[in-house]
Amino acid sequence: MQHELSLLQQFAGTFLKDVNLGVILLNTSFELIDISDMACRVLGLHREQVLHLPMERVFAALPAEHQLFNRSILDGMVVRNHALSWTLGEERYELLMDSNVLRDGTGDVVGAYIIFKDVTNLRSLEEQVQRSDRLAMIGQIAAGTAHEIRNPLTSIKGFLQVLRKTFEDQGMRRESGYTDVMLAEINRINELVNEFLLLSKPKHAAMEEVDVSQVLRDILPIINNEAILHGVIVRYEAMLDLPRVIADRELLKQVFLNIGKNGIEAMGEGGYLTLSERVDMEERKVSIDIHDTGPGIPMFVIDKIFDPFFTTKEQGTGLGLSVCQRIIHDIGGYIRVSSKGYGTTFTVSIPFP
Ligand SMILES: Nc1ncnc2c1ncn2[C@@H]1O[C@H](COP(=O)(O)OP(=O)(O)OP(=O)(O)O)[C@@H](O)[C@H]1O
Ligand SMILES: [Mg+2]
């Protein structure tokens, strides 16, 4: 018997150290008798400092309504799956808590226990699922609307071109200038609508073997033009014999243009935009790093930058990156972003056969 008890005690000690649950044991004076390591970590406590302290003192720094529990749990109030949030420094935890009294053989209350589990990750998984539902819905609405917008636009554009011709023939310079402006605006709408369509359904992509270096060389003049406007210097670090990938050449151009443009727009005069190529033979993928020396992307923004319509720019549509992600996903690749306060790197990785 003695032996068994000590085994149980041994286990209790190990259990409180190892278990990935918050466990707190209280006596009838509402003093903390023991606490698991996980509970210490989440609550920001040191076990040795809080053992045998009254619970009010353990959480002395917090106002009563923010303390995890109160004396009523000793009165036999049973708690099951009580959801609560707990903030420790920068971390925010979502917890599910149970508690109940402990009784001895004769039924007298000798203390109470509190057990909680950390469901923070489950919660964020839930949010992700909701978000991808929302994205799918936006995509469907976008596709429907885009078609409806494009058709009337085409006829407006056609008639405008006729008008412009007439104005020109009659020497009405000012009026033909107006039609030019209108046509340019219509083109802008058209581009926007095209992006919508891209977002909502992968268009009939023309897949072929593509030399990514060649794609970068093709768009370098365009990026350079944009860079000059912003006083930014572009560097290109090529690699010899980059393996070819299977992709739609035009769509790839769009990806690098969008990301490059973002980098340039993020920087002021004197910034550097660097495009460099890498190969990972083991994982069989080609990676392009697009690095800028801009201000970086704040933590609370970085989660959202791939969401359609998320933008911090007055003139932005917020579609640039979501289109890029769609395109790269469709060819089995991925885009990673790292930004640590100063400068940002977007890495586009594409598998090669
Ligand atoms: N290199 C970067 N440095 C800092 N912030 C960036 C960078 N790239 C993207 N962002 C942030 O991500 C947001 C979303 O980018 P995205 O390309 O999707 O849309 P946009 O650039 O705002 O609009 P559009 O692409 O239509 O002009 C930007 O508004 C910006 O806040
Ligand atoms: Mg953009």
Domain boundary among 97, 118, 139: 118
Ligand 1 atom 27: residue of nearest CA: 316
Amino acid at 69: F
If asked whether residues 61 and 112 sit together in one domain, one would say yes
211 has pLDDT over 60: yes
If asked whether residues 162 and 226 sit together in one domain, one would say no
How many structural domains is the chain composed of?
3
If asked whether residues 194 and 108 sit together in one domain, one would say no
Domain boundary among 53, 88, 118: 118
If asked whether residues 155 and 140 sit together in one domain, one would say yes
**Cβ contacts of 339 within 8 Å, gap of 6 or more:** 296, 297, 302, 345
If asked whether residues 174 and 262 sit together in one domain, one would say no
Per-chain residues with Cβ under 5 A from ion ligand 2: 262, 320
Kindly report, residue by residue over 154-203, the tens digit of the pLDDT: 889 999 999 999 999 999 999 999 999 999 999 888 887 877 776 665 55
Q: Is 266 exposed, middle or buried (0-12, 13-18, 19+ CB in 10 A)?
A: buried
pLDDT of residue 150: 81
Kindly report, residue by residue over 42-92, the tens digit of the pLDDT: 988 999 999 999 988 888 776 655 566 777 888 888 888 888 888 887 788
The overall average pLDDT reported for the chain is 87
Ligand 2 geometric centre to CA of 221 (Å)? 18
**Cβ contacts of 288 within 8 Å, gap of 6 or more:** 212, 216, 256, 275, 276, 277, 278, 347, 348
Cβ atoms of residues 225 and 182 within 8 Å: no
Residue 28 CA to residue 103 CA, distance in Å, equals 10
Kindly report, residue by residue over 119-163, the tens digit of the pLDDT: 887 767 777 676 666 666 666 677 777 777 887 888 899 999 999
pLDDT of residue 166: 94
Distances (CA, A) of 274 to 50, 60, 283, 348: 53, 53, 24, 13
If asked whether residues 236 and 297 sit together in one domain, one would say yes
Domain boundary among 171, 200, 229: 200
If asked whether residues 261 and 152 sit together in one domain, one would say no
Tell me the best of 275, 302, 313, 323 to mutate to test the pocket of ligand 1, counting ligand atoms within 8 Å of each CB and taking the most: 313
What is the number of the ligand 1 atom nearest to the C-alpha of 315?
27
If asked whether residues 245 and 279 sit together in one domain, one would say yes
24 has pLDDT over 60: yes
Residue 45 CA to residue 55 CA, distance in Å, equals 12
If asked whether residues 174 and 235 sit together in one domain, one would say no
Domain enclosing residue 157, as ranges: 124-200
Residue 321 CA to residue 308 CA, distance in Å, equals 8
If asked whether residues 27 and 103 sit together in one domain, one would say yes
